Amino acid sequence: MKILLQILSIIGLMFTLLPSFFHFFKIISLDTHKMFMLIGTILWFGTAVFWIGRKKEAKLPINKK
């Protein structure tokens, strides 16, 4: 599951990076650029929060009295 989320996150980053270059070189229009940026942003923030910064939970010893 983590690998799938990472792949989707990278696709989201590509959707936010590449349209800027495509618009700069007049390959896509401004409206298309905005649409891809919105999709990429939603995809990135929707998937990256589930796998970035996750640490393994430490097992704490239980103190029995």
Q: What pLDDT score does 53 carry?
A: 82
pTM for the whole structure = 0.74
CA–CA distance, 51 with 59 (Å, rounded to integer): 20
Q: Give phi and psi for 47, each to the nearest 5.
A: -115, -35
What DSSP character marks residue 50?
Answer: G
| pLDDT tens-digit map of 10-39 | 999 999 999 999 999 999 999 999 999 999
End-to-end CA distance of the chain: 40
Residue 12 CB partners (closer than 8 Å, separation 6+): 39, 40, 41, 42, 43, 44, 45, 46, 47, 48
Please report where in the chains the tokens 């990278």 appear, as a residue: 10
